[in-house]
Amino acid sequence: MAIPRPHRAAIYVRVSTHDQEVENQLEELRRFVEARGWEAREYVDEGVSGALDQRPALDELIQDAKRRRFDVLVCWRLDRLGRSLKHLITLLDDLQALGVAFVSLAEGIDATTPAGKLQMHILGAISEFERARAPSGSGPGWRGSDVRGAGWAVLRFRSRRTRSNP
């Protein structure tokens, strides 16, 4: 019987300004990873807004995920990772497709466990639902309204007032 190798973890931390410290996040994440006997590499974005498209450490982390250099991504909170809900869900979907599990300590999400995998499936289902119900802008009704300069249709209702008989 083969001895399973320990998970290779990627620890990701981010702070928006240089006045903030990453050490608080790193200490907690290191303890979590160490308690599980995992090996870890740290990816740190200091003074980088979460709203930016380009984040050097996150970009490197994504490239390393594609190269299969780690098995699980561990972060302090979801908002440290994604710049928006859509970006976060897309990133987590991409990581899952690469076989990378995900852990967020503050939210208690641990996709290395069966319960955590269920949470990720639920998040994925919500994401798929949101994508499916968002208008693509390419349907005939949308094209027609674009030509007419109209946006969403406004429905007007006429109410009928009744007089009460004295």
For each of the domains in the chain, give its residue range(s) and CATH number, in order of start. 8-134 (3.40.50.1390)
Amino acid 159: pLDDT:
47
- For the stretch 27-56, pLDDT in tens is 999 999 999 999 999 999 988 887 777 789
User: Counting every residue, how long is the chain?
Assistant: 166
- For the stretch 89-116, pLDDT in tens is 888 888 988 999 999 998 888 888 888 7
SS3 124: helix
- For the stretch 61-88, pLDDT in tens is 999 999 999 999 999 988 888 777 778 8
How far CA 114 is from CA of 21, 66, 110, 135, in Å, comes to 33, 24, 9, 34
Active site residue 145: no
DSSP 102: E
Widest distance between CA atoms in the chain:
91
Q: How far is Cα 80 from Cα 126, in angstroms, rounded to an integer? A: 20
Specify burial of residue 145 (Cβ count, 10 A radius: 0-12, 13-18, 19+).
middle
Instruction: Pick the range with the lowest mean pLDDT from 1-15, 90-104, 120-134, 143-157.
Output: 143-157
